[in-house]
């Protein structure tokens, strides 16, 4: 951890999000660019006559270059970039140097052949996102829901007072309320998997102008389609110089929705902790308050909420900004996309906050049961509904007279009210009196 880092993701939280450096650091970006340029040159060697005659040698040497890429290659690219002030051109020049060093100098002008820098940039972005979502973000989201599943299974169906508008309402269970969030995230995860990673790979303004001028006999659209599909990406066939990022923004919006669900969840958990429904396990050596020794604060959930909101602010910004570019190209997307790792970093940090917090939670069963026992009025809904079935007139209005007074409704006062109705059907009376705040639960998880 560097105490001089400007971003907390590279300082205070570096160890918690360091795996993202494999995808979105400057070194990772350069590596992705080099490998993409090499893959492109390999594919060209399959169709261009000038390369086909020595195809095996070219592919062999290019494979060696990929296998031996190191920190030195990154340093060399950055050195060249200081002269060119252009990162993609620096990658191109370095790759030409590598080809020359391996006896393939005669083919170096086919590096970056017919491409514009955005062909590389937008394709690399899709590759970075595809790999990072598969390896880091999706598993981290799933880790949150699997942890929810695990703790809810451990606790079983503990009846709990629900609250609508902050007021006591029909009972539920802890497990069912956690399952609401699990189900919501599952729906969004399915949608996340359906969003394609797309790319533009068609030259200066998306028309293969240079490609066609040099090799008019080649179907460059078909070539690009096959090349990108080999990378797990679909080609966007109608573009300007840039890929318009519509599917990228759909991905960002989807992550934002998942984050919003988690914000909803951590706020609820925070409230349950404040109601004393959940206790937090004490971690030896941790301090809750600098002045109040008794406190154990829900910091994991609070940190998660803040980090999710920060990530969502960046996700929203990206989704609004990226689809907009003047005419065929401006460079405003280039600088903001350097922050994709930051944006996802705060999401990843939040997911880890949530998992850490969930592992510290335990239900305070005595408090939960006590609150149910103190709120017998909540079964009035069930009583008046049963009475409607049996043909009693205005049962809602009848029981409202009991439940809307200032007097607290207890088991005894509720049963006295039932007796005052002088219902002749003893089975019905028994049914009404059988309802309690602890068993009036309905179908907890239906469907």
Q: Catalytic residues, which ones?
A: 165, 289
Q: To the nearest 10°, the Cα dihedral for 415, 419, 420, 425? A: 140
**Contact (Cβ atoms closer than 8 angstroms) between residue 287 and residue 353:** no
Find where tokens 């998660």 sit: 304
Residue 420's contacts (CB-CB under 8 Å, 6 or more residues apart) are: none
The DSSP code sequence of 165-202 is TTEEEEEEEHHHHHHHHHHHHHHHHHHHHHSPPEE--S
**Contact (Cβ atoms closer than 8 angstroms) between residue 90 and residue 55:** no
H or E segment to which residue 414 belongs:
helix 411-420
How far, in Å, CA of 250 to CA of 194, rounded?
Answer: 10
Give 358: exposed, middle or buried? Use CB within 10 Å, 0-12, 13-18, 19+.
buried
Find where tokens 């990530």 sit: 311
End-to-end Cα separation, the chain, in angstroms:
48
Q: What 8-state DSSP symbol labels residue 160?
A: E
Give the three-state DSSP class for 84: helix
């Amino acid at each position: 951890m560097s105490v001089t880092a400007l971003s907390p993701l590279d300082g205070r939280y570096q160890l918690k999000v360091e795996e993202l450096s494999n995808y979105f650091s400057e070194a990772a970006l350069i590596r992705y660019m080099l490998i993409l340029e090499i893959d492109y040159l390999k594919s060209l060697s399959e169709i261009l006559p000038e390369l086909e005659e020595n195809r095996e040698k070219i592919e062999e040497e290019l494979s060696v270059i990929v296998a031996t890429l190191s920190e030195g290659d990154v340093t060399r690219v950055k050195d060249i970039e200081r002269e060119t002030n252009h990162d993609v051109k620096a990658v191109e020049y370095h790759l030409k140097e590598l080809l020359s060093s391996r006896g393939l100098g005669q083919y170096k002008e086919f590096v970056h052949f017919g491409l514009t820098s955005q062909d590389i940039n937008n394709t690399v972005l899709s590759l970075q996102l595809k790999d990072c979502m598969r390896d880091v973000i999706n598993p981290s989201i799933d880790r949150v829901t699997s942890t929810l599943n695990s703790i809810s299974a451990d606790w079983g169906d503990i009846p709990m007072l629900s609250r609508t508008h902050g007021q006591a309402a029909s009972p539920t269970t802890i497990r069912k309320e956690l399952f609401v969030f699990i189900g919501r995230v599952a729906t969004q995860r399915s949608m996340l998997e359906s969003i394609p990673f797309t790319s533009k790979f068609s030259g200066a303004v998306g028309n293969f102008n240079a490609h066609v001028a040099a090799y008019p006999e080649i179907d460059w659209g078909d070539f690009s389609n096959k090349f990108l599909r080999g990378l797990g990406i679909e080609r966007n066939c109608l573009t300007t110089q840039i890929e318009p990022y519509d599917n990228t923004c759909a991905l960002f919006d989807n992550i934002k929705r998942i984050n919003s669900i988690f914000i909803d969840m951590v706020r609820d958990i925070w409230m349950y902790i404040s109601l004393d429904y959940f206790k937090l396990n004490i971690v030896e050596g941790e301090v809750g308050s600098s002045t109040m020794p008794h406190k154990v604060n829900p910091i994991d959930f609070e940190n998660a909420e803040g980090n999710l909101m920060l990530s969502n602010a960046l996700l929203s910004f990206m989704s609004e900004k990226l689809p907009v570019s003047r005419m065929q190209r401006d460079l405003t997307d280039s600088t903001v996309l350097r922050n994709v790792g930051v944006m996802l970093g705060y999401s990843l940090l939040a997911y880890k906050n949530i998992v850490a917090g969930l592992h510290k939670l335990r239900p305070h069963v005595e408090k939960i049961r006590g609150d149910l026992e103190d709120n017998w009025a909540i079964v009035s809904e069930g009583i008046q509904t049963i009475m409607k079935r049996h043909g009693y007139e205005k049962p809602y209005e009848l029981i409202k007279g009991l439940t809307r007074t200032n007097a607290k409704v207890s088991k005894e006062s509720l049963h006295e009210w039932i007796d005052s109705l002088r219902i002749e059907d003893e089975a019905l009376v028994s049914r009404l009196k059988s309802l309690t705040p602890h068993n009036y639960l309905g179908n907890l998880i239906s469907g």
